[in-house]
Amino acid sequence: MKLAFCLYKYFPFGGLQRDFLNIATQCHQRGHSIRVYALNWQGEIPDFIDLRQVPIKALQHHVLYRRFHRWIQDDLKKNPVDKVIGFNKMPGLDLYYAADSCFVAQFKQSLSWYQRFNPRFQQFYRDEETVFHAKANTHILALSETQQREFQHYYHTPASRFSILPPGISRDRIRPENAATINHELRQEFSIPNEEILLLMIGSGFKTKGVDRSIAAMASLPPNILKYCHLIVIGQDKAPPFLRLSRRFKIDDRIHILPGREDISRFLFAADLLLHPAYRENAGIILLEALVAGLPVLVSDVCGYAPYIQQADCGALIPSPFSQKDFNALLLHAIQDKSQRQRWQSAALSYAKSADFFDLAEHAVAVIEEN
């Protein structure tokens, strides 16, 4: 088949972007031709992809996205394909990969009646409705049953239009036999002694992932504990606001913020705790990457994959509604209780032996071919 994939932006270190590329690669390997529409592409372009970088501009995002949708629809009329797969919500999709949270669930309850007539809100609402409306035809590749129920609550989407995908992570996240060596080498690289605590956050979108919450929790630690703790944050986002926050708390010497990079597994094997106090998170693939790496996790219970951490007993869930005071206490306890972290690590590695966290792309391709 001729397949068209649509996404606003591609960069190498985003979770949605990695899933898109894995699915596109699997489709290519099964003999399908791949066309991609994008506003922006960073990094190498695989030779099997016919990339059509859409040449439009606008000062406001919602206007840009509307023009993007129209440009794609005009191009598809001239150059039709068999199926259109979207990784962002937009009109004209045959299938939608639901990496983003429900827009209405996030904002409708908190907006006043007049704010709902804001052009930005109206545009994003229409884009979501065109995918999930009960009478629409788009088939949805969902990441969790919780996510499916949320969309159905607002749009009454028939269950038959959903396919729940299993997680899909890279096998290089599995803890290797030489993990201790990797740990030692990475800590030397960042001048972090082996006996000190390395906290880790990974993910693009620092605000959504709760980097501010982690910095505040670090700042709450007693001075005699804080001086032995380090936080490394890795992701594609603007670091200055969070560096300023760490300076305001006078802990900037404890915080390292790094851009997205390829060697994430090294950090997973070297850290003592993964922090993920997200404000919202449809899935949270980093949670499972930490699990198979044997890295204990402190995670908001709003994250789609948080139940895996609870099932594996390899960390703790931060309950809703979020309380900074409770998160601070949870972090302090986890840092002080080394035996608990060791139990969490053992439980994670044991759970990972029987879990299937690697087949998302294969299942997604099967759904694309069937719908």
Does residue 159 sit in the same domain as residue 73? Answer: yes
The total number of structural domains in the chain stands at 2
- Strand bridging mode 273-276 / 2-10: unpaired
What is residue 339's predicted lDDT score, i.e. its pLDDT?
A: 98
pLDDT of residue 349: 96
The series of mean pLDDT values per 10 residues for the chain, 371 residues long, is 98 90 97 98 96 95 96 98 98 96 78 71 93 98 91 96 92 92 96 96 94 98 97 95 97 95 95 96 92 97 94 97 97 98 97 89 97 93
DSSP string, 92-139: T-SEEE--SPPHHHHHTTTS-TTGGGSHHHHHHHHHHHHHH-TT---E
Question: What phi and psi values does residue 114 have, to the nearest 5 degrees?
Answer: -75, -30
Clarify whether residues 130 and 230 are in a common domain: no
- Does pTM top 0.75 for this prediction? yes
DSSP state of 329: H
10 strand-pairing partners = 41
Residues 234 and 88 in one domain: no
- Whether residue 189 sits in one domain with residue 123: no
* Cα 245 to Cα 132: distance, rounded to the nearest angstrom: 39
Residues 115, 217: one domain? no
Q: What's the rounded Cα separation, in Å, for the pair 17 and 11?
A: 6
C-alpha distance from residue 262 to each of 2, 267, 311, 339 (Å): 31, 11, 29, 31
CA distance 306 to 181: 29
- Are residues 110 and 32 part of one domain? yes
Q: How far apart are CA 240 and CA 336, in angstroms?
A: 30
Compute CA distances 353 → 11, 298, 356, whole Å: 31, 21, 9
Domain shared by 158 and 217, yes or no: no
Whether residues 158 and 177 share a domain: the answer is no
pLDDT the model gives residue 120: 85
Alpha-carbon distance of 49 to 235, in angstroms, equals 25
- Asked if residue 364 and residue 344 are part of one domain, the reply reads no
Together in a domain, 324 and 345: yes
Q: What is the distance of C-alpha 26 from the center of its chain?
A: 20
Tell me which residue of 354, 277, 348 sits closest to 310, measured CA to CA.
348
Domain of residue 80, CATH code? 3.40.50.2000
What pLDDT sits at residue 163? 97
One domain, residues 264 and 335: yes
Q: Residue 258 contacts by C-beta under 8 Å, 6 or more apart in sequence?
A: 232, 233, 234
State both tokens at 106: 């996030």
- Within this chain, do residues 145 and 200 fall inside the same structural domain, yes or no? no
Containing domain of residue 27, as a range? 2-166+359-370
